[in-house]
Amino acid sequence: MSDETTQTARDARSAFDRADQRRRKQDAVLRVAAQAFNRRGFANTSMDDVAAALGVSKPTLYQYFRSKQEVLYRCHQLAMDHGEAGLALAQAQGGSGFERLATYLDRYMRGIFGDFGTCPVLTDVDSLAPGQRDEVVARRARISAATADLIREGVADGSIVECDPKLATLFALGAVNWIPLWYRETGPNTPDEITRAFLTLLGSGFAKPRP
């Protein structure tokens, strides 16, 4: 390998290393900010609070996010990524409507409990900037519609009790989306225990009893 090729490879690795370092620092900001938003409320949490928790200056924090609204927006995006990943997994694995619904909600919940410990309170949409709010609302509507479709298919194939798909969707997603409001990493139940318990409870309400 020539010296020029070797240097090019080093430069490429360095660029990726810098990008990875920036991503990890952004992840750290999101984790701390999400926890603060959940516990203190978005309006009561300042960028000064997030910077202090991370042990950095506010100007340093602004190198990664331009505003508090952008942090909240990125957190919402992360949560919806998990919801869409759950829907894709459910369709890929197949099964009855109820089985696909359970696969989807399992993946969604585990995502919420995942990399960032917890996503922000998913009901706090009004605090987003107008353009971001419109995007989040539209994306959430698509996830809700896909959830209702799964429930509708489960009713049709007999794996889910007769119900109003829209109300059933509000019930299921309401349970999932409020997890960040009350979940604490120091609490008595692990994410795995909570996920299993929620799926059992949802199943007792959704699944049609077998003869």
Q: Domain residue spans in the chain?
A: 3-206
Q: Model confidence over 151-205: pLDDT tens digits? A: 999 999 999 999 999 999 999 998 888 887 788 778 898 889 999 999 998 888 8
Is residue 97 within 8 A of residue 151, CB to CB? The reply is yes
Q: Model confidence over 83-113: pLDDT tens digits? A: 999 999 999 999 999 999 999 999 999 888 8
**What is the predicted pLDDT for the residue at 15?**
47
**What is the predicted pLDDT for the residue at 11?**
47
pLDDT-derived band of residue 137, with 50, 70 and 90 as boundaries? very high
Per-residue pLDDT, averaged over 3-20, amounts to: 57
Tell me the whole-structure pTM to 2 decimals.
0.78
**What is the predicted pLDDT for the residue at 158?**
94
Q: Model confidence over 35-76: pLDDT tens digits? A: 778 778 788 888 888 888 888 888 888 888 888 888 888 888
Smallest CA-to-CA distance from 42 within 127, 117, 130, 119 is with 127
Average pLDDT, the chain: 83
3-state secondary structure the chain: CCHHHHHHHHHHHHHHHHHHHHHHHHHHHHHHHHHHHHHHCCCCCCHHHHHHHHCCCHHHHCCCCCCHHHHHHHHHHHHHHHHHHHHHHHHHHCCCHHHHHHHHHHHHHHHHCCCCCCCCCCCCCCCCCHHHHHHHHHHHHHHHHHHHHHHHHHHHHCCECCCCHHHHHHHHHHHHHCHHHHCCCCCCCCHHHHHHHHHHHHHHHHECCCC
| Residue 110 to residue 107: CA distance in whole angstroms | 5
CATH number of 3-206: 1.10.357.10
Which residue has tokens 């202090």? 52
